Structure formats: C-alpha cells, structure tokens
Amino acid sequence: MMWKELRHFLLWAILSTPFYVLAQVQANLGTVEPVQFLSETNFDFQQNHIYFKAKINGIEGIFIFDNGFTVTGLDNDFAARCGIVADSSITLADANEAEAQGKMGSAGLIQIAEVNFKNTRVAIIDTDGLPACQKVDGFIGSSVINKANWKIDFVQKLLQFSSRPFIDPGLRCSYTISRSNRHFIEFKYEGVPFWVHIDLGSSGELELNKEAFTPIFAGLPAQMNIGASSLALFGLNAVDTFYTLNRPFKFGYDKYQITNSPRIELQRDVEYARLGLGYLHQFNLIINSDAKEYILSPNKLLSSIREEKDYGVVFYPVEGQQRLVRLSACENVARLGLTLGEVVEKVDGRAVESLGDWCAIKTYIRAKANRGEALRLKIRGRKEECVLQADYHPAHSIIR
C-alpha cells in the first residue's frame, strides 16, 4: 500500500468507523460547574502514566488520565462504593483492541479539585489486570477530558484545567475527534502526512500497525522481538513478532519539524498509528478542547539519548507465575536458548515476589541495566542460573 493510499485509508477509518458510537454519544452528556473556572491539581508520573486524585459522588480515588479511553471508567468495587448502579451494557476494548463486555451507569458528580463534572456517563470495569504502578480506581477518560481545556506540566507535575483555552508558546497541532471520541493529529513522516491517534493512556512512543506500515519500512534494520508487545486493561496481547526502529527520522507537523522523532514500534494489534506518553512526556502539553488543538512545548525532560541498555527479556505475572512473555533477538536469548513461557523463580538470588510488584521489579531491572550490571535469573527446570549481560540492543533484523 502506497503512502497516499494509506493516508486516505486511515482518514476514512478514523472518521467513518462506527466503533463505540453509542459510547461517544453517552460521553457527551453532562455539564460542568462552575461555568467559568481555572483550577489545578498535582499528579504523580510513573512508568509513563499520569496518576491523580478525584472524587466520584464524594468518594476519593486514584485515577489515570487517559484520553484514549472513550468514556470515564470506574472499577467495579469503587463504583459500588460510590453508589453507581449499572443501567445498560457496552462493549469495551483496551489498547490492544481486546474486547470485553462492560456495564454503563451515571456518576452524579465527578470532582477534580474545585470543578464539578455532573451527570457523566461512566463504564464500570474490572481494573485488577491493569499493568499500573499504583492501585487505581479507574480512568478519567474522554467523557471528562473533552469538556475542559488542560495544561500538563511534566516538570512540576501539575495538571491545570480551565473553561477557556490556554495561550502558550509552542507547536500548535489541530486535532480531529473520531466517532469513538479519540483525538487524531495529522503528523508527517519524512514529509509524508499520516493520521496519528493521541493516546495519553499509552506508555509507548509511536506504535504502528504492522500489516499497514511494513511495506513502508521494509528493508530497514530493526530490533526483532517475539512475544507480547504490550499490556493493557484486559491483559497481555497475543504472541506476535514485532519490530522496534531506534533510528531517527524526520517527524513533524505541517511545515515544522520536531527535534526528536519518536521510537517506532510495528505491532499487529494496533488499530491506528498511536502516539503515547513514552514520547509526549518530553513536552509540556496543552489540550485546548474548545479550539481542538494540542500545543507542544519542549521541557527539560527532553533527551537526545534514545538508546537504553537492556537484557532482551521481559517477564510478567501470568496466572500467579512470573513468565517470560517477550524475547528480543539478542545474544543473551540466543546463548541461553530462552523460550517464551518459562517461569522465573529468582532474580539475583532473591525470590521474585520479594522484589515487590510488577512496577518495582521493572524499576529494579531498569536500574541494573543502566549501570551495566549482569542480571541473574533462576528459571524453573534449569540447573544453572541464567546470567544476562546488559548491553545496547543492536538492530539485528531486517523488516520484512
């Protein structure tokens, strides 16, 4: 598929898909009080997710700021504590496009700082499998985000929101709202425009559909990976062979080029091109819902160093056991003959559980890799420990 054809195909999909039309209509219900407001709240930023406090019907909880979620979603137990009763059903999908049946209800009051979002439709979901660094009570999704203007300062970890658009210097990017309540911006790759879904609930950088974009990147060197490419609300996605391109390329909007290009990952289970906070946290972001624009201002978190040391393996709890769920084409994996599904029992001589939750384990391993230290894994059924060396991942494979 040629670039021109792909561009028109993506635009057609964005604007015409009936996906979640009911959810979008319901999301547009409700009012905001006071009519004129300017407020702010602090947030925590961990593993490329924004966590902040809000009250639902007077009950305080912790939520993820996620405009990739069509409606605001509340955990089952938390919704019950808030007195929210389901009155209809809805089909929900997570970032991996995995679907599950959910319930819909109404939250009489969603309060963020001093601002009240009243009579908002919400989805009632199960957040137990969510790969988050904090226990969360749900998502503040597009049903709330699209009703205000937002300014996200990643340096000060401050979230401001207003009834009026913010006026700040930076790159101004117009966006389109799809029928599924998602935001799309027409960015440019090597001067060629293509539509990108802005998903602030995604921790990745630029994720592209492998089938649609492989013809464009065919023949380029990349890191090949096998296994689950991502985690989402309904768990791991299916085993896949996917590619990561670390090379810089020309990335921009309109006639402007953006200094740092996002790292590209070609995955099977990405419906649209998707840009997440793994890249966007390098900018202080403004979402002017009234003007339908984003404003991107580089902050001091911007870094030109994109290469990271790694071990070439990812393990994650599956049915109570830490299993290898992703392997990269690298010397560690080849030398040790590692295979998907093997159970990791110990890390550096310690039981995996003693290191803490998934987020703590990930932080521990990343810190060791950055120091260039070897990682020792005791894998069930193997007599000897597996010693993995930290190294930069070279581009071993060619995209085909």
**Residue 116: phi, psi to the nearest 5?**
-115, 120
- Strands 206-209, 264-267: pairing is parallel
Q: How high is the pLDDT of residue 182? A: 87
Domains 3-13+168-298 and 17-162 share a fold: yes
CA–CA separation, 258 vs 251, rounded Å?
6
Cα-only R_g, the chain: 21
Give yes or no for a contact between 37 and 46, defined as CB atoms under 8 angstroms apart. no
CA–CA separation, 81 vs 207, rounded Å?
37
On the CB side of 141, how many CA atoms lie within 13 Å of its CA? 27
Question: Which residues have C-beta within 8 Å of that of residue 67, sequence separation ≥ 6?
Answer: 141, 142, 145, 146, 182, 183, 198, 199, 200, 201, 287
CA–CA separation, 53 vs 62, rounded Å?
5
CATH architecture of 17-162: Beta Barrel (2.40)
Q: How high is the pLDDT of residue 181? A: 82
Domain 309-398 -> CATH class: mainly beta
pTM, entire model: 0.86
Give yes or no for a contact between 117 and 105, defined as CB atoms under 8 angstroms apart. no
User: Whose CA is closest to 69, among 157, 180, 185?
Assistant: 180
Positions of the chain with pLDDT lower than 70, given as ranges: 1-28, 91-100, 129-132, 230-237, 302-307, 393-394
Domain boundaries, the chain: 3-13+168-298, 17-162, 309-398
CA–CA separation, 280 vs 167, rounded Å?
19
CA–CA separation, 160 vs 267, rounded Å?
34
CATH code of the region 3-13+168-298 = 2.40.70.10
Q: How high is the pLDDT of residue 23? A: 47
